[in-house]
Amino acid sequence: MSKEYVDDIARYASNVNEDAIAGIVKHLGIALRSKDASLVSCSSKDELSRVRDSWLKKKLGRSDDDAKLDSVIEEVCETMKADKRKNRVTFYYLLAAKFDQLDALTS
């Protein structure tokens, strides 16, 4: 696992869970090789819908209504607003942390 992910996440979270990061990297797989796919665009409604549906609903198993999930995604966008290039691993980590589901990523 890249120290780059740990360092980026540490800017937003204390006690970084490296096993959770490894789980996210494994989940994203080959997509991380593409510069565009390795980033999240908070200005793209389609992108944020994919994050909600693929990450929060499918991977994390969230059954909250879309408005609630979109609200949490917006919180992470706000947290990372200073970053023009929002790293997907960091973004997904922060979402999982918001729902207290980092341990679910370590298996």
pTM attached to this predicted model: 0.94
Q: What is the pLDDT of residues 15-43, one digit of tens each?
A: 899 999 999 999 999 888 888 899 999 99
Structure confidence at residue 107 (pLDDT): 62
Domain boundaries, the chain: 3-105
Q: Which residues pair with 39 in a beta bridge?
A: 87
Structure confidence at residue 106 (pLDDT): 84
DSSP 51-90: IIIIIIIIIS---S-HHHHHHHHHHHHHHTTT-SSEEHHH
Q: What is the architecture, at CATH level 2, of domain 3-105?
A: Orthogonal Bundle (1.10)
Structure confidence at residue 17 (pLDDT): 95
Burial 43-54 (b: 16+ CB within 10 A, else e): eeeeebeebbee
